[in-house]
Amino acid sequence: MNTSGNFVVKLGGWGLSKILGLGRMGMFLIYAINGLWKPPGKLISTIKHIYFIGHRSLFVICFTGAFSGMVLGLQGYYTLSKFGSEGLLGAAVSLSLIRELGPVLTALMVTGRAGSAICAEIGIMRIEEQIDALKCMAIDPHSYLISPRFIAGIICFPLLTSIFDVIGIYGGYAIGVLLLGANPGAYWDGIYKSVGWDDVYMGYIKALVFAVLTIWISTYKGFYAGVDSGSMGAEDVSKATTDAVVISSVSILVADYVITSILL
Amino acid sequence: MLKFEHDESNGGKLTVHLKGSLTKDNVVSIRKEIEKAFFEKSPNCVTIDLSDATSMDTAGVALLVILCRICKSRDINFRIVNPDDKVRKVIRLAQLEQLLLGNGDFNDQ
Amino acid sequence: MTSEATSIISVRDLQSFYGRRQVLFDISFDVPPHCIFVIMGVSGSGKTTLFRHLIGLKPTRKNAVFIKGEDISEWKSSDWQKYWQSIGVLFQSGALFNSMTLKENVALPLQVHTELTSDIIDVMVEMKLYMVGLSGFSDYMPAQLSGGMKKRAGLARALAMDPELLFVDEPSSGLDPITAAGLDDLLISLKDAFGMTVIVVTHELESAFKIGDYMLVMDKGRILACGTPESVKNSKESRVRQFLERRAEEAGQDMEAYLQRLCSVRSR
């Protein structure tokens, strides 16, 4: 009885802590949005974060975009040629990229590269009392640290997704047309005829949602690194960084399904 | 608050009487007024009279340093006179007695 | 010492908890304005927790901490913003922003909260860095500095807004004796020149007695002695005497609990 009682108490405590955590996370987002209108000005810091999240992710986005398009070209050509429909290769590659793979893979790549770094940076600021110092200087840490990253994320994710899509389509062209011999005119015509504004719109909606999710989770995990454990050590930062990447990645995939099911 | 006295007979001598506090809340407006007087009157000697200055923070000291620098760059004679004990302490804390006074102590009028 | 009405900070029966563990027990004292108030105690005595309550980083229950006669538990966000703009805080680690140079660190509060022009801010920053002995280091990044230099730069940043109340956590720890003495002199000069009230948390006895106008000695979350340096020096309380005379903890004090813990270790 005593053991089962303890178990219920522990379970209740765990459940409560999770609900409180979700509430805190919601408030964190509200503070970050509210911080957009608070001083100090965010132009310079936003530009710095655009450079960090956007420009410095360009190589990895181009690289993964090219190979994703190439593999789609290869697989698509192999599958479509079985039905004599190689002419649909352009449509298959572009629709897969624009609607699904572009936003998802871009978000996963940026999460791995920039999300983890953002979380670690803010986590270190937390354990070194820099966030407390900001507060004691009457500078809202949400406004100063989090809001510019949100703006930068919202600007960079759709742009990176667009770059990923374009490079992916050229990657598919390189393999499908130049290497395997599909008709180049049919490839571009397929894209022209099949890709509509709805597809592009869906891709951008996804990119924006993934941007908010990635920045929200990464900054939140860093901001509260070590706060609950009270230890404020290096281990808390590493745990927060791992959590940020895992939770962001899972959320991206779940959100992808939800958005697709709503918009289809 | 500021009061300007301009004695043209004496080779263009401008005396600025500072009244009240000279802190980060008002140094920007005070600076604008003093610089405007500099341009309008083109003095060859500027005296900042602090006899009615009640308090000063490091922003006030910074303003004095900048005025001193502007005067030196234009070959204008610059002096600070009659600081009270409180103001003197702040200038001493910033270790700027030498720069703002030249001889290590304020010139009394 | 002083009444609640005349003091700048009044603490009444303050209790503090980390989870279920109580770390402060019924702390009460007053800080008069324009003085250096030193909070002393051994490591783990609750000094830093008390410090965090006073600077508003740890929530406080009703009627426990009063700043200028106002109960801080009733403050709204705008009251906190006003309070934080009027104080300077030096954290134990310095808490400098790693991505900024020293100059940018010190200039930050001035850029955010004042309309001052950049040349006035630059002169002020140079002055503050000179005061703490870091003139010529304005373009250095925090990573290029030693621990003691970081702490001094943190003090320069805390002084940036010429605060009315300055909170300093362990100013001399990690500093060489000459620099530490320089910082002590600076704190005294700041009090004299600006009429600042300085709250210093330290366990450096020599420095505490040199700068302190009033003192508070803590142990295990309780106040052992509070008053002028003379009254603390003359305290008959055994733990205060032990702290002041730098006597090590007597062996055998927790022997019973220690032995019990040893006996409860399971053998493999």
**Which of C20-35 are b and which e, b meaning 16 or more Cβ less than 10 Å from the residue's Cβ?**
eeebbeebebbbbeeb
Closest partner CB to B89 (pick from C120, C121, C192):
C192
Res B11: pLDDT = 64
Measured in angstroms, the CA of C176 and the nearest CA of chain A are apart by: 22
Q: A33 and A154 in contact (C-beta within 8 Å)? A: no
**pLDDT (average), residues B60-70:** 92
Q: Would you call A129 and C97 a contact, using CB atoms and an 8 Å cutoff?
A: no
In the predicted structure, residue B104 carries a pLDDT above the cut 60: no
Please tell me what DSSP assigns to residue A86: G
Distance from the A149 Cα atom to the nearest Cα atom in chain C, whole angstroms: 15
The answer, for A132 touching chain C at a CB cutoff of 8 Å, is yes
Beta strand C222-227 with C214-219 is antiparallel
Q: Which fold has domain B2-101?
A: Transcription Regulator spoIIAA (3.30.750)
Q: Is B28 on the interface with C (CB under 8 A)?
A: yes
Task: Map tokens 């100063």 to a residue.
Answer: A144
The per-type count for chain C, helices as H runs and strands as E runs, is 10, 10
Residue A123 has pLDDT above 80, yes or no: yes
Are residues C124 and B62, on separate chains, in Cβ contact within 8 Å?
yes
CB pairs under 8 A between B and C: 54
Residue A133 CB neighbours (<10 A):
27
Q: Does C57 sit within 8 Å of A136, measured CB to CB?
A: yes
Cβ atoms B52, B73 nearer than 8 A: no
ipTM at complex level? 0.88
Q: What is the pLDDT of residue A39?
A: 75
Q: What is the mean pLDDT of residues C153-179?
A: 90
| Residue range C75-91: mean pLDDT, rounded | 94
Residues 6 or more apart whose CB falls under 8 angstroms from that of C68 comprise C8
Q: What is the pLDDT of residues A168-195, one digit of tens each?
A: 999 999 999 999 988 999 999 999 999 9
3+ Cβ–Cβ pairs closer than 8 Å linking A and B:
no
Residue C93: closest CA among chain A residues belongs to which residue? A128
Judged against a pLDDT cut of 70, whether residue C169 lies above it is answered with yes
Q: In a 3-state reduction of DSSP, which class is residue C89?
A: strand
Residue A53 pLDDT level (bands cut at 50, 70, 90) = very high
Tokens of A134: 């900001």
- Looking at the complex, report in whole angstroms how far the Cα of residue C19 sits from the nearest Cα belonging to chain B: 42
Lowest mean pLDDT among A25-29, B36-40, C66-70: B36-40
pLDDT score of C100 more than 80: yes
Lowest mean pLDDT among A18-27, A223-232, C32-41, C78-87: A223-232
| Averaged pLDDT of chain A | 93
Q: What mean pLDDT is predicted for residues C47-70?
A: 93
pLDDT digits (tens, 9 = 90+) for C16-25: 998 888 999 9
CB contact under 8 A, C84 and A129: no
8 A C-beta contact, residue A225 and residue A123:
yes
A128 and C108 within 8 Å at the Cβ level: the answer is: no
B56 phi and psi, to 5 degrees?
-150, 140
C-alpha–C-alpha distance, residues A218 and A123, integer Å: 10
Determine the average pLDDT of the residues in A253-260.
Answer: 96
Chains contacting chain B through 3 or more C-beta pairs under 8 A: C
| Inter-chain CB proximity A137 and C108 less than 8 Å | yes
CA distance C205 to A116: 44
> What token pair was written down for C226?
């509070």
> What is the domain partition of chain B in residue ranges?
2-101
Provide the edge-to-edge strand list for the sheet that holds C21-31: C21-31, C9-18, C65-67, C70-71
Question: Distance from CA of residue C33 to its chain's centroid?
Answer: 16
Nearest CA in chain B to C117: B28
Residue in A with minimal Cα distance to C55: A136
pLDDT at A55 over 60: yes
> How would residue B107 be classed by pLDDT, with cut points 50, 70 and 90?
very low
Domains and CATH numbers, chain C: 35-45+80-263 (3.40.50.300)
CA C185 to chain centre: 16
Q: Check C193 against B92: CB less than 8 A apart.
A: yes
Q: Do C120 and B28 touch (CB under 8 A)?
A: yes
CB contact under 8 A, A40 and C98: no
Task: Find the CB nearest A138 among C91, C113, C154.
Answer: C113
pLDDT at A139: 94
Q: Say if the Cβ atoms of C123 and B62 lie within 8 Å.
A: yes
Give Cα separations from A28 to A35, A143, A213, A215 (angstroms): 10, 11, 13, 12
Q: Which residues pair with C39 in a beta bridge?
A: C201, C216
* Smallest Cα distance from A132 to chain C, Å: 7
Q: Do C190 and B93 touch (CB under 8 A)?
A: yes
CB atoms C194 and B57 under 8 Å: yes
- Are B65 and C120 within 8 A, CB to CB? no
- pLDDT reading at A262 higher than 90: yes
Omega within 30 of 0 (cis) for the link into C142: no
Minimal Cβ distance to B58: which of C117, C124, C189: C124
C193:B89 CB<8 A: yes
Instruction: Count how many pairs of residues, chain A against chain C, have C-beta atoms within 8 Å.
Output: 53
pLDDT(C83) > 60: yes
CB C12 within 8 A of CB C163: no
Measuring CA to CA, how many Å separate A204 from each of A14, A132, A251, C197? 37, 37, 17, 55
Q: Which residues of A touch C96 (CB under 8 A)?
A: 130
In chain C, the percentage of residues whose pLDDT exceeds 90 is: 62
Q: Give the B window 46-85 contacts with C, CB below 8 Å.
A: 57-59, 61-63, 65-66
Could you give the CA distance from residue C5 to residue A49 in angstroms, rounded to a whole number?
A: 49
The span from the CA of A161 to the CA of A211, in Å, is: 11
User: B6: part of which helix (H) or strand (E)?
Assistant: strand B2-7
Give the one of C117, C123, C190 whose C-beta lies nearest to B65's C-beta.
Answer: C123
For residue C161, the chain B residues in CB contact (below 8 A) are: 24
**Is A185 within 8 Å of chain C by CB?**
no
Q: Is the pLDDT at A40 greater than 80, yes or no? A: no
Kindly list the partner chains of chain C, i.e. chains with 3 or more CB atom pairs below 8 Å: A, B
Q: Do the Cβ atoms of A138 and C84 come within 8 Å?
A: yes
Chain C residues with CB within 8 Å of chain B CB: 110, 114-117, 119-121, 123-124, 127-128, 130-131, 161-162, 189-190, 192-194
Inter-chain residue contact C97 with A138, CB threshold 8 Å: no
Query: In angstroms, what separates the C-alpha of A134 from chain C's closest C-alpha?
Result: 9
Mean pLDDT of C153-164: 94
